[in-house]
Structure 1
Amino acid sequence: MAYRILVADDEKEIRDLLRLYLEKDGYQVAEASDGGEAWALLEKGEVDMALLDIMMPRMDGYKVLKKLRETSNIPVMILSAKNQDTDKILGLDLGADDYLAKPFNPMEAVARINSNIRRFYSLGARSGELKQLVVRDLRLDTEACVVYKREEPVSLTSVEYKLLRLFMEHPGKVYTKQQVYENVWGEEYAIADNNIMVCISRLRAKLSEDSGAYIKTIRGLGYRMEK
């Protein structure tokens, strides 16, 4: 199966460059030159991952991402000339899975797309794994990649889902920031940043008004899922 990647950017040179490298890697590519076109394609549900520029006509990347997260948790990478931490945190807070600042190496972009696709679509594919994970009133269906609280579905992004799954697989176990990052993002943890804190904070808010009800911060050590 060839995954379909949406490249939404108002710069034709960037779309052409990414199309060249992505098609060489076996992907199908859909293009959008503004946010309106991007949303029209995403609304059809025929895209497996989206690359969204922030500064686009008609609708910026943040608005497209916010609308997308109301109905879908497909992987999303923000592409932006904005490289401030506040812009990155905003993108992650709205539900982005990754953030790549311009100018970028197209080979790095493809490598990170491969990583996001592999992590998201291989979930539930490991042989012999549990199909259901249950901790207190939370139930995680590893085949459908859906989480339920008291049998009501909880809308999560792919990163939030992977975070929760990691903790639910071993409730009571303390994970360091390095272990969380390497398990969820699939990359070596090199420097401390706000990604983990922002994503865990957002996940906690979706699970309970009490921030420590399910995922507890163990000062100086990391995070733990309460049994």
Structure 2
Amino acid sequence: MQKTILIVEDEDILREIVKDYLLNAGYEVLEAVDGIEALAKFEEQEVHLMILDIMLPELDGWSVCRRIRKSSNVPIIMLTARADEDDTLLGFELGADDYVTKPYSPPILLARVKRLIESRYAHADKLPNEDTIISSGIRVHIPSRTVTADGVTIGLTHTEFEILAYLMQNPGIIITREQLITKIWGYEFAGDDRTINSHIRNLRHKLGDKANHIVTVIRAGYKFEGSV
């Protein structure tokens, strides 16, 4: 099925350039020029990924991301003209999956879109009983990208899901932050360890009583400790 990308960008030239790249890559494209229009488009039509500028009229990208995360784990790539590390971390804490600083290369942005789309939807056509990981009351179903803890559904972002699934697929094995970055983003990431730390913190918060199964190994990384 053809995937639909929502571009939320108030700069017409930038939006048109990105739109052309996405259309040429075979995606359907929706456009919004402010935060209010973005939320309306998101509610009206099925969106598989959002490219979201932070500095928007009416409602900024932070607020849009926060509202969407209340009901959806759709992949979100945030755009900003500021190379502020704290802004990057705030974006991840709000649930963004990737972060791109302007000026950026449209082909690189397209590569990141493809990476997120492929990892998010690659298993959509698999049979429902395939690829299920169960440990310590946590159940991860890869094809549907659903997670439950003691039968209660937990809503994770794309990146949080990828981290949990990767750790649970390698129980007891220390996974370095560099390995997580390579697994999730698949390219040289312009960030630092605090990016992964932020996602892990959010993931633990959502897991509640199950958070202790994600163990921090000082100066090494993380591992999942549990039992069948």
Alignment of 1:59-74 (within 5 A): 59-74=59-74
Aligned residue in 2 for 1:86: 86
Q: Does 1:187 align with 2:193?
A: no
Q: Deviations over 1:175-207 (max 9, x none)?
A: 111211112222256874421111111111111
SS at match of 2:51: strand
Aligned residue in 1 for 2:35: 35
Unaligned runs of 5+ in 1: none
User: Quick check: 2:177–2:193 contact (8 Å CA) kept in 1?
Assistant: no
SS at match of 1:198: helix
| CA apart distance, 1:44 | 2.9
Aligned residue in 2 for 1:52: 52
Rounded to whole Å, the distance in 1 between the matches of 2:14 and 2:189 is: 29
Q: Aligned AA for 2:145?
A: C
Alignment of 1:107-118 (within 5 A): 107-118=107-118
Query: How many residues align structurally?
Result: 225
Aligned residue in 2 for 1:9: 9
Rounded to whole Å, the distance in 1 between the matches of 2:183 and 2:37 is: 34
Distance of aligned partners of 1:190 and 1:60 in 2 relative to their CA distance in 1, 3 Å threshold = closer
TM-score, normalised relative to structure 1: 0.92
User: Quick check: 2:80–2:101 contact (8 Å CA) kept in 1?
Assistant: yes
Q: Once the two structures are aligned, what percentage of the paired residues are identical?
A: 35
User: Quick check: 1:178–1:189 contact (8 Å CA) kept in 2?
Assistant: no
Aligned residue in 2 for 1:221: 220
Rounded to whole Å, the distance in 1 between the matches of 2:106 and 2:201 is: 31
User: Quick check: 1:135–1:171 contact (8 Å CA) kept in 2?
Assistant: no
Rounded to whole Å, the distance in 1 between the matches of 2:99 and 2:64 is: 15
Quick check: which one's helix share is greater?
A: 2
| CA apart distance, 1:172 | 1.2
SS at match of 1:88: helix
Q: Does 1:101 align with 2:88?
A: no
Distance of aligned partners of 1:192 and 1:63 in 2 relative to their CA distance in 1, 3 Å threshold = closer
Q: Deviations over 1:32-51 (max 9, x none)?
A: 01000000111235111001
Rounded to whole Å, the distance in 2 between the matches of 1:56 and 1:160 is: 26
Q: Aligned AA for 2:97?
A: D
TM-score, normalised relative to structure 2: 0.92
Aligned residue in 2 for 1:164: 164
Rounded to whole Å, the distance in 2 between the matches of 1:189 and 1:29 is: 26
Aligned residue in 1 for 2:207: 207
| CA apart distance, 1:209 | 5.9
For the aligned residue pairs, the C-alpha RMSD in angstroms reads 2.0
Rounded to whole Å, the distance in 2 between the matches of 1:71 and 1:145 is: 15
Rounded to whole Å, the distance in 2 between the matches of 1:143 and 1:21 is: 28
| CA apart distance, 1:14 | 1.0
Rounded to whole Å, the distance in 1 between the matches of 2:87 and 2:132 is: 36
SS at match of 2:10: coil
Rounded to whole Å, the distance in 1 between the matches of 2:18 and 2:101 is: 14
Q: Deviations over 1:113-159 (max 9, x none)?
A: 111111111146689x9432111011111221100011010010000
